[in-house]
Structure 1
Amino acid sequence: MAPVAILLWATTSGHGIAFGGLLSALYGLSSSVVQPVSGRLMDRRGRTAVHLPAAVLNSAFLMALPLANFSGTGVATAIVVAGGLTTPPLEAGLRALWPSVLPDARLRHAALALDTGAQGLLHVVGPLLVAALASAYNPTVALAVTAILGLVGTTVVVLAPPSRRWRPTPSAGARHGAGSRLFNPGLVLLFVSLAGIGFAIGAMNVWSTAMAEHHGQNMLSGIIPAVFSTGSLLGGLVYGCRTWTRTTADRLIIAGAVFFAGWLPLAALPAPFAVIAAVAVPGAFLTVVVACAYVSTDALAPAGRTSEAYAWLILSIGVGQSAGTALAGRLAEQPLTSAMLPAAGAAVALAILLAARRRLGPAGHRPRGPYRCPSGASA
């Protein structure tokens, strides 16, 4: 919700869509950059000690942003960056908890796909709720609701039994020594390609707002990302409930190719209804890309540093998303160019994945056995 609420607040406060895109990009960039630091702190101090203080500060900064109307753009920029830097590192923390919840690697792979797809629910409800609150009331109300929900949601996660039971391992500090170097060529190329995936998503978010302004239909700014995320949810359900025999690298490249192809119809500048239908395709294959990226990261990262590697994966997507948001904001007045930005990011991602195919996992890296949808998971 936060990047969309920040963007709408800026555009309705007289700052313009370009500055709003910049603020939204800065929020995403700062929240991504801090991920590896937060991941290391979680490994050493525990979830609660990191999540709760971050959630309180993040909510306070979001609720303070409307006050920047009386202080200028510099204060607004500082508040947004501070809010991003205090974003709770929930995603990396939750991903690291899966081994303790599902020790079976086959079920964990299926659950990871369902988890990734289910995240689409956040992006379905979030943008729609922001757009609805901004239309019915104003973006300030949307920012306040975003802040409150963020604090409540983080508290729920911290109080969940798997999170409460988790304890830092005594040797966690020693695992960050020179003997367990995190980065290798495969991980670096994977993370760079994911920046292209994030670029496509960030460009789409701003482009959907520009589409809404162009057609005079404010709800488009929420509907387009929501349909994209609905496709992601459905893609996760299908992917997680089926048996696959290809290597993880093959699945990653195939999904990346379809993700790229799904953006191409936007270059024709179709009508709003056609756009809404078209974005569901790349959305469906985004889940496969991200799920396979997590599996590849797990295979390529050294033992004991998977959580930190997950944080770098999230950082890569976030940096790309911020770049796409910022550039799309600058080009919002050029419909054809801005419409091609998501495809451009996806094309870069696919090219890097193809070049890195042999480095994306150990030889013959396949699932350790056929996995099927766990009983009740499809519910």
Structure 2
Amino acid sequence: MSPTASTASPSRITYGAVLGSPYVARLLGGTLTGRLPNGMAPVAIVLWTLAAGRGIALGGLLSALYGLASALSQPVKGRMMDRYGQSAVHLPAAVLNSSLLIALPLAAPHGGPALATTIVVAAAGLTAPPLEAGLRALWPSVLPDLRLRHAALALDTGTQGLLYIVGPLLVAALSSTYSPATALTITAALGLAGTLVVATAPPSRRWRPAPTTNDTGTARQLASPQLTSLFAALAGVGCAIGALNVLAVTMSDAPGRQTLSGLLPAAFSAGSFLGALVYGSRNWPGSTTRQLIFSSTAFLVGWLPLLAIRSPYAATAAVALPGAFLTVVVACAYVTTDALTPTGRTSEAYAWLICSIGVGQAAGTALAGRLADHALALAALPAAGATFALTVLLLTRPDQGTVRRNRHRCGHA
């Protein structure tokens, strides 16, 4: 589609048009199902560890290890997709990941040696299929229309938060009705089923990266200062998200309030989903860089009320605002990453982006745990992470001309 045609497209589109495009519903639904283990496995691992009598400390460590291993291995799997295609990576990874999750309670029904359990959990995290990065790489071939692609990217980004609402609730229901081991088995089955849906879809089977170029320009290198600073900023965004879970637990640490611990993350994710629906439904003014700076500023401002709020109910309402702008930050970060990435290494670059957010989340959770006894410092941690992200972006702004010219540009088509 020519730039003129793209500019002349309607200011609003319907999500029915997006989901009705060939393969979009299948790819999006399969990816969400295949990524449910990201929201289910950490909770199922904790509950299984507790049921085995090993204590919350080990359960928390194993849960964090699964998430960290999955995040750190993303770039390697992304690079493998760029070399060998998506199906060649997704299918073996899904089989290994599911097998290891099922093997955890089978190999160690009573908790087993801590070292052996740790190895199995780490291996399961390392083999989690890179579905999110793969889906982002497929959108250009599935949706050549810039407006539809923009809406799909926003919808894709916003729905990711639902995994962390549905996943833990499903694990809790399965564990209470059956057992944590059953929850792990269902987690493995869902991950494998979703990956099969994606990996067997024609766009995924046919996808091959564009040939790698020999462009040596600084702005086109995967390790360019612009990309490195963008990923560093996203680690700050992840830190804010990671701190939220601990903050939710501390604010609900009172008789009769235990169920509120899940409300803050749920409200945050719901805000992200609603923000995605609004953002993806129309064109927005300004370049991608300006949208990224604006949304990062709003993301920071949204956390500031937590410094004065002591009621978990008020905090639940407040966190919907930074959640709404998270979608815009991440969507524009993907577009910026695409604009600054050498041809043929897109999946790897997307995987680095995902890794940056995941590592930031792990760091935010760890820092929040250390600050759990200091209410004001803990409440300030999400804003501190958002401040770091905004500061990095302001100091190292991406090349607006590069981003505007890119065929994956965000919002301003």
* TM-score normalised to structure 2 length: 0.80
Q: Return the match for 1:74 from 115, 124, 128.
A: 115
Distance 1:216 1:12 in 2: 23
Distance 2:213 2:57 in 1: 43
Q: How far off is 1:232 after superposition?
A: 0.8
Q: How far off is 1:230 after superposition?
A: 1.3
Q: Return the match for 1:151 from 192, 198, 207.
A: 192
Partner residue, 1:84:
125
For 2:144, what is the secondary structure of its paired residue?
Answer: coil
Unaligned runs of 5+ in 1: 374-379
Distance 2:75 2:409 in 1: 33
For 1:362, what is the secondary structure of its paired residue?
Answer: helix
Partner residue, 1:266:
306
Q: Does residue 134 of structure 2 align to residue 93 of structure 1?
A: yes
Distance 1:11 1:197 in 2: 31
Distance 2:95 2:403 in 1: 46
Q: Does residue 155 of structure 2 align to residue 114 of structure 1?
A: yes
CA contact (8 A) 1:202 1:322 kept: yes
CA contact (8 A) 2:298 2:325 kept: yes
Q: Return the match for 2:79 from 35, 40, 43.
A: 40
* Larger CA deviation: 248-257 vs 362-371: 362-371
Letter in 1 for 2:93: A
Distance 1:216 1:117 in 2: 31
Distance 2:340 2:353 in 1: 12
Distance 2:73 2:336 in 1: 22
Letter in 1 for 2:245: N
For 2:362, what is the secondary structure of its paired residue?
Answer: helix
Distance 2:251 2:69 in 1: 26
Q: How far off is 1:177 after superposition?
A: 9.0
| Alignment: residue pair count | 370
Partner residue, 1:27:
66
Partner residue, 2:297:
257
Distance 1:366 1:216, change over 3 A: farther
Aligned pairs (5 A) from 1:1-379 = 1=39, 2-10=41-49, 15-66=54-105, 67=108, 69-167=110-208, 171=211, 175=213, 181-215=221-255, 217-268=257-308, 270-357=310-397, 359-362=398-401, 365=404
Distance 1:62 1:189, change over 3 A: same
CA contact (8 A) 2:94 2:128 kept: yes
CA contact (8 A) 1:197 1:349 kept: yes
Distance 1:276 1:201, change over 3 A: same
Distance 2:303 2:138 in 1: 34
1:31-83 deviation line (CA, Å, top 9, x unaligned) = 11111111121122222221122112212222333427432432332222111
Q: How far off is 1:283 after superposition?
A: 1.0
Distance 1:263 1:75, change over 3 A: farther
Distance 2:214 2:403 in 1: 28
CA contact (8 A) 2:300 2:383 kept: yes
Distance 2:260 2:202 in 1: 39
Percent identity of equivalent pairs: 62
CA contact (8 A) 1:195 1:316 kept: yes
Distance 1:322 1:371, change over 3 A: closer
Distance 1:349 1:9, change over 3 A: farther
Distance 2:86 2:409 in 1: 33
Letter in 1 for 2:187: T
* Larger CA deviation: 91-100 vs 260-269: 260-269
Q: How far off is 1:269 after superposition?
A: 5.2
